[in-house]
Amino acid sequence: MTDCVFCKIAAGEIPSAKVYEDSAVLAFRDLDPQAPTHVLIIPKEHIASAAELTPENSGVVAHIFEVAARLAKELGLEKGFRVVNNCGPDGMQSVQHLHFHLLGGKQMGWPPFPPQP
């Protein structure tokens, strides 16, 4: 997609701090890190969000989780990590290209949203 920032990163048209790449996926450091380690893993194919996954295109998600496990080892996240996907307006998705946040290097909070009054 011509106006998609993550398609441009995947195509090398916008620079990124790349940590992994193969024919199907790219992983790079998030511009606005929310943890000591914060990597985004994206399919190179444009899929707008998790809501657009189908039996035809969902295989890449399993591959992304394999890459997350590999990167967690390589990046020293032996104590654990979190993989997050934000989907749609209520999910606070800000970039409309499927991506998974790999977060680690500190203990996360739970639940990930403020308690209701």
Selected binder of ligand DGP within 35, 77, 93, 104 (CB under 6 A): 93
Question: What distance in Å separates the CA atoms of residue 64 and residue 61, rounded to the nearest whole number?
Answer: 5
| Closer residue to ligand DGP (CB): 11 or 14 | 14
Least distance (Å) from ligand DGP to the CB of residue 114?
17
Of 38, 46, 97, 99, the active-site residue reads 99
DSSP state of 32: S
85, containing H or E segment: none
Identify which range of 27-35, 58-66, 70-78, 102-110 contacts ligand DGP by CB under 6 A: 27-35
Give catalytic status of residue 97 as yes or no.
no
Selected binder of ligand DGP within 7, 24, 30, 48 (CB under 6 A): 30
Identify which range of 26-34, 56-64, 71-79, 102-110 contacts ligand DGP by CB under 6 A: 26-34
Question: What distance in Å separates the CA atoms of residue 81 and residue 50, rounded to the nearest whole number?
Answer: 20
Indicate the residue type of 22.
Answer: D
The Cβ of residue 104 has, within 10 Å, a number of other Cβ atoms equal to: 23
Q: Based on the number of CB atoms within 10 Å of its own CB, is 115 exposed (0-12), middle (13-18) or buried (19 or more)?
A: exposed
Backbone angles phi, psi at 36, to 5 degrees: -55, -40
Does 81 bind ligand DGP (CB under 6 A)? Our answer is: no
Does 13 bind ligand DGP (CB under 6 A)? Our answer is: no
What are the residues binding ligand DGP (CB under 6 A)? 5, 14, 16, 28-32, 40, 86, 92-95
